[in-house]
A and B are shown apart, each in its own frame.
Chain A
Amino acid sequence: MLRATFKSLLSRKARLLLSGIAIILGVTFITGSLVMRASFSTSIEGMFTTAFESVDVQISSEGTNAATGQPNPIPESVVAQVATVDGVESATGLVSDAANTVVVIDKNGKAIPAFGAPTIASNWTGVEDPMELREGAGPAADDEIAISASLADSTGYKLGEQFPVISSITSEQQSFKITGIVGYTGGRDTLGGEKTMWFTTPAAQTLVMGTTGAFTNIDVKAASGVDDNTLRDRIGAELGSSFKVQTGEDLAKEISGQFDEILGAFNNILIAFGAVAVFVSIFLIINTFSIIVAQRTRELALFRAMGAGRGQVINSVLLEAAIIGVLAGVVGLGLGVLVGWGGTAALGGLFGGMDATLSVPTSAIVSALAIGIVVTMLAAVFPAIRASRIPPIAALRDAANAERSVLPFGIIGGVFLLLGGGLLTWALTGNAGDNRLMVMGGGILSLFIGAVIFTPVIARPLVSVIGRIMSWSMPGKLGRRNSGRNPRRTAITATALMIGVTLVTAIGVLGSSAQASIDKYFENSVKADLVIGSAAPSTTIPSFKTEILGEMKAVPGVKLVVGAWADLGATINGEIVSVIAVDDLAGQNHMFATKTDQGNTDTLGPNDVVINTDTAKAENLKLGDKVEIKLTGSPTPKSFTVSGITESGGEGGGGYTISSVNAEQFTTKNPIQAFVELDDGADTQQVTDQINTLLADNPLITVNDVSALSDQIKQIFDIILTIVQVLLIVAMGIAVIGVVNTLTLSVLERTRELGLLRAVGMTKSQVTGMVTVESVVISVFGAILGLAVGAGLGIAAQQALKDQFLDTLAMPWNTMAFYLVAGVVIGVLAALIPAYRANKLNVLRAISYE
């Protein structure tokens, strides 16, 4: 039996390869993700270990300042105290800030927004490994600065130039002369993407902490022969619990651990796609083995006739599966290791040329083999059982494929579909209460499974309809009939494609709905075209002069300007509340499409306050009620009357809105924000430039184009969608192999028919046409099913998230049309190899086939 299995395997090399490829891809995906994750962790840890190699022990403060959110400063005296600890060679005070306290002003005089990799301000303590001075020297005077090559690169500032910054502690712009440019060993401009500037210690202390005589960290060098861990523990004992004492190794672990988390999320996505690939592979393998069994019917029946038991037949098929599984697992693992390594190297490029270290975790090896073997064997079980049911008498009959019933698929699939439909209706009609999203998710999953199982039932009628379009000629007609010959096989083949298309379509529906919802949100609710305000979040909120509001109104093309003030220290009964002042309440409500609930929400008297329905409910306030608000600048609370209530839901308007005449008593007496609506057809760029000129003395205040903002958000969605689709195309690629596989085997099965057709005069191009039609019918069937199911699931998910933020449904018609066309193209491409084989067939041998 074993010998026979091996022989039959070897005689089916092509089939082995094709069904193997599917599993290989799935295994590659999953092991690739695991290897990449492990390698990336190792590499990034290696990178930070290098970065912290020169650090023996580092001290930071444990707590943070409640008001500023900054770490508590470490007094200078602690440095001296640490220096006395036994085994310490030296202790150096460090200043380091990554919270964007010190904002860099670019060459256009505007603050650089705090997006992406951090900009770090620190004190110069000399060139230490892995730093390398590229040009000049470190700062010697308090008006000098050294910057990292990455910072010089991104801002364009050069050695010798003045480098302007604003500290949110001092709130004033200061310039420093660039005396040095710093790089890192290995020709890198940055360690991990960050940008760094170094000041003298006093300058850094003033900018970052607003005071001299304190540090954020202390760097400790161990005396030779003293172990880092021992020293850490000794210093920890000396300083007590208000300080965090770590070795360089601890630090490297801590920081690389943070990167690891981000990577973990990314990896889970990759693994999810791997799972989809494996899932699709299952269909392909079931299909392949079904066909192998169908072809081996006579051979297997002969075994049975010679006395082989059912178990032996099952074993023979499963053995074949196991061999394919092991091979595919090993090859997939090999490719996965390559992919993981390549991925790590590519990611390393984002971190300033990090060295990629390969690390293959045991989990990758185990899962590769487990997935390969288990998935293949599971998928082969049904065909194996079917094989064992072949009666010995079949050896004597022609191996005509008996039509098999699709009824069980109809019943099981139908049950899932009904269950899913029921759950969905339940959730959508709002009867499911708090579990709504879960019920919805369950419903969608059940519908998906149901649709997959139900496919064979609709295969025949649907395939017949699709095929009708293509059966204008005899070869077309034959192709169409062939595709309907074995609904189960057609369905399983098409299902592999359907799953991919379903997922991309469903995600496409969600993506386009998200974009449409964002569009609608910005169009309907935010009338403001420009928002003027702080560029970077910082501890003190930057403001601008009140007169500028009037000057902005005068700019041609500006229709409406609303100024906004905020009091950060306002309290009611001692509790901090959000108090905002505006100079034009009607204008503000118009810009944010805020609707009136009760009272007057158009104007504000000096003692009036407007709240929204949420605040009214939470604070139990009615129209006409008195509210005692203590503003920062006044010694006693002032009494305000609730003069109007707005509907919640619009932007802004939360908290307490009062007239701008009260701004005199605010923390900041100047407006912090302005909302500008433009005339129709006004040139946004021109107005922006003019307002920027008005704000020339306020580098921290920038003009933001709202439509640009919506574009940015939409772009992010676009990128996510593209990534998802590219990954799913891999799943579709596997499906294509499935179509090729099925057709190749069908061609083999129909050798005699092909011989007959060629004998009675069918040309090679007609044979190609016939095979192509069959292929296109199957793949278009899969694509149409996928589009329908995907659209259904996408719409269901959108309905489920309607109240979250996906309020607008938009169908991605273009992408859907693309997938339909792709279905045709896939069909044509998949037909190439089988058609070639069909034409290569020797007519004579085909008709004298025995």
Chain B
Amino acid sequence: MASTTMADAGIAARAAGVWKVYGTGEAQVIALRDVSVDLARGRFTAIMGPSGSGKSTLMHCLAGLDTVNRGEVFIGDLRVTGMSDRQLTQMRRDNVGFIFQQFNLLPTLTAEENITLPLSIAGKKPDKAWFDQVIDTVGLRDRLSHKPTELSGGQQQRVACARALVSRPEVIFADEPTGNLDSKSGAEVLNFLRDSVDRFGQTIVMVTHDANAASYADRVLFLADGQVVDELIDPTAEQVLDELKRLEEIVGSRQTQAEGH
């Protein structure tokens, strides 16, 4: 079967010929046009691109939060496209981890309860050894009984990372996880993400604006106008910045052209 081959090929998430269109008629926006990407297992992939280029949309489609208009999406060997709401919910619970830019935590739960939330929702107990390892990696041992309001922004984001990691999902999707943090806390979070890829073989897909953040990734995909236009392997921050600048020029010239007509 195709799915077996995919797993063998070490692909954690895959988009094949994906189209995503919002609205109809005049107001129609094509957020993704014929996007095909394979995200290798155990790798840290960053998605970059100008604002409105479709980064979040791509991530949402890959994570089963949104449906596609055309094409197919896979997580591991599961075909996400065509799943019912119930199947999607279960897939997210068991195979996907999320880190959002903000509002990642439930204010009524302690840090520990927030971390084990997806497991408790599934009615599962966390693996004690793994849980301890995750906690120690994010350095939250002495904060476990605190409520989110008693934690700093960086600590909150690390709790969110731990939550994403503790259920050992196929992929962790992070949408600008450092967007709301100062550079020091941001670096802490990024280091932790890098660590979990290197030490635990976790697959991570991260949407970001920040060239420095992207430089932590193994691979950077560049989106423009809903299409994958370029990629960099093992990039440095400077390379990313250059690439972004180049893209912006292309987009800018396209717009001037469009206006010229």
A interface list, Cβ under 8 A from B: 400, 473-475, 477-478, 481-482, 485, 752-753, 756-764, 766, 843-844, 847-849
Enumerate 28 A-B pairs (CB-CB under 8 Å) in ascending A order: A473-B120, A474-B120, A474-B121, A474-B123, A475-B121, A478-B109, A752-B103, A753-B106, A756-B103, A756-B104, A756-B105, A757-B117, A759-B65, A759-B92, A760-B118, A760-B121, A760-B163, A761-B89, A761-B92, A761-B121, A762-B121, A763-B89, A764-B85, A764-B86, A764-B89, A766-B121, A844-B65, A847-B100
Q: How large is the interface on B (under 10, 10 to 19, 20 to 34, 35 or more residues)?
A: 20 to 34
Instruction: Indicate whether B108 reaches chain A with its CB closer than 8 angstroms.
Output: yes
A843 touches B65 (CB 8 A): yes
Whether A760 contacts B103 by the Cβ 8 Å rule is no
Q: How far is the CB of A9 from chain B (nearest CB, A)?
A: 28
C-alpha gap A760/B94 in the complex (Å):
9
Instruction: Name the CB-closest residue of A to B123.
Output: A473
Residue interface bits B89-124, CB-to-A below 8 A is 1, else 0: 110111000101001111111000000011011110
Given that A843-B65, A844-B60, A847-B100 are known contacts, is A761 also in contact with B118, CB under 8 Å in the complex?
A: yes
What residue in chain B is nearest A849 (Cβ atoms)?
B103
Task: Chain A residues near B100: list those with CB within 8 A.
Answer: 756, 759, 847
Do A481 and B108 have beta carbons less than 8 Å apart? yes
Q: Are A763 and B123 in contact (CB under 8 A)?
A: no
CB nearest neighbor in B for A763: B89
Inter-chain contacts of A844 with B (CB < 8 A): 60, 65-66
Q: Which residues of B contact A762 (CB under 8 A)?
A: 89, 93, 121
Instruction: Give Cα A482 to B105, complex, Å.
Output: 14
Contacts of B103 in A (CB 8 A): 752-753, 756, 847, 849
Q: Which residues of B contact A477 (CB under 8 A)?
A: 120
Question: Does A761 lie within 8 Å of B56, measured CB to CB?
Answer: no
Beta-carbon nearest neighbor of B90 in chain A: A761
Most buried by B among A400, A473, A482, A762: A762
Complex: chain B residue closest to A755, CB-CB: B103
Please judge, given known A-B contacts A478-B108, A485-B108, A844-B66, whether A760 and B60 are in contact too, CB under 8 Å: no
Across the interface, name the chain B residue whose C-beta is closest to A846. Answer: B103
Which residue on B lies nearest to A753, using beta carbons?
B106
A760 touching B108, Cβ below 8 Å: no
Q: Using CB atoms and an 8 Å cutoff, list the residues of chain B in contact with chain A.
A: 56, 60, 65-66, 85-86, 89-90, 92-94, 98, 100, 103-109, 117-118, 120-123, 149, 163
Q: Closest CB of chain A to B102's CB: distance in Å?
A: 9
Closest approach, in angstroms, between the C-beta of A163 and any C-beta of chain B? 79
Which residues of A lie under 8 Å from residue B163 when comparing CB positions?
Answer: 760
Q: Does B89 lie within 8 Å of A758, measured CB to CB? A: yes
Beyond A474-B121, A481-B109, A843-B65, is A763–B98 a contact (Cβ under 8 Å)?
no
Give the distance to chain A from B113, nearest Cβ to Cβ, in Å.
8
Residues of A close to B105: CB separation below 8 A: 756
Rounded to whole angstroms, the CA-CA distance of A753 and B122 in the bound complex is 18
* Cα-based distance from A764 to B90 in the complex (angstroms): 11
Given A759-B65, A844-B60, do A482 and B121 touch, yes or no (CB 8 Å)? no
CB neighbours (8 Å) of B109 from chain A are 478, 481
User: Contact: B93 with A761, CB < 8 Å?
Assistant: yes
Q: Which residues of A lie under 8 Å from residue B98 when comparing CB positions? A: 759-760
Residue in A474, A481, A759 with the greatest tally of chain B CB atoms within 10 Å:
A759
For the complex, give the distance between the alpha carbons of A96 and B12 in Å.
Answer: 103
Residues of B within 8 A of A758 (CB): 89
- In the complex formed, the residue of A with least CB distance to B163 is A760
The 9 A-B residue pairs whose C-beta atoms are closest, nearest first, are: A761-B93, A481-B108, A474-B120, A752-B103, A760-B118, A761-B92, A763-B89, A762-B121, A474-B121
CB distance from A772 to the nearest CB of B (A): 16
A478 to B113, CA, bound (A): 10
Contact A756:B94 (CB < 8 A) given known A761-B121, A766-B121: no
On chain A, the residues within 8 Å of B120 by CB distance are: 473-474, 477
Considering the complex, give the chain A residue whose CB is closest to the CB of B108: A481
Partner of A478, one of B85, B93, B106, B118: B106
Contacts of A482 in B (CB 8 A): 108
Contact of B92 among A478, A481, A760, A848 (CB under 8 A): A760
A835 to chain B, nearest CB (A): 15
Q: Which of A400, A753, A757, A848 contacts B56 (CB 8 A)?
A: A848
Contacts of A757 in B (CB 8 A): 106, 117, 121
Closest to A765 in B: B86
Q: Among A756, A766, A849, which residue has its beta carbon within 8 angstroms of that of B106?
A: A756
Kindly provide the distance from the CB of B23 to the nearest chain A CB, expressed in whole angstroms. 14
Expressed in whole angstroms, the Cα–Cα distance for A844 and B98 within the complex equals 13
Taken together as a complex, chains A and B put the C-alpha atoms of A485 and B89 apart, in Å, by: 27
A-side contacts of B56, CB under 8 Å = 848
B14 to chain A, nearest CB (A): 21
In angstroms, Cα B122 to Cα A756, docked, is 15
CB pair B93–A760 under 8 Å, yes or no, is: yes
Determine the chain B residues whose CB is within 8 A of the CB of A759 once the complex forms: 65, 92, 98, 100
Chain A's closest residue to B93 (CB) is A761
Given contacts A762-B93, A844-B65, 7 further A-B contacts (CB under 8 A): A400-B149, A481-B108, A752-B103, A756-B104, A756-B106, A766-B121, A847-B100
Which residues from A are CB-within-8-Å of B85?
764
A763 x B90 contact (CB < 8 A): yes
- Determine the residue in chain B with the shortest Cβ distance to A751: B103
A474 contact set on B, CB distance < 8 A = 117, 120-121, 123
**Chain A contacts for B121, CB-based, 8 A:** 474-475, 757, 760-762, 766
Q: In this complex, which of B94, B107, B108, B120 has the most chain A Cβ atoms within 10 angstroms of its Cβ?
A: B108
List chain B residues, Cβ under 8 A from A400.
107, 149
- Cα distance, A753 to B93, chains bound together (Å): 16
Identify the closest chain A residue to B118 (Cβ): A760
B169 shortest CB reach to chain A, Å: 10
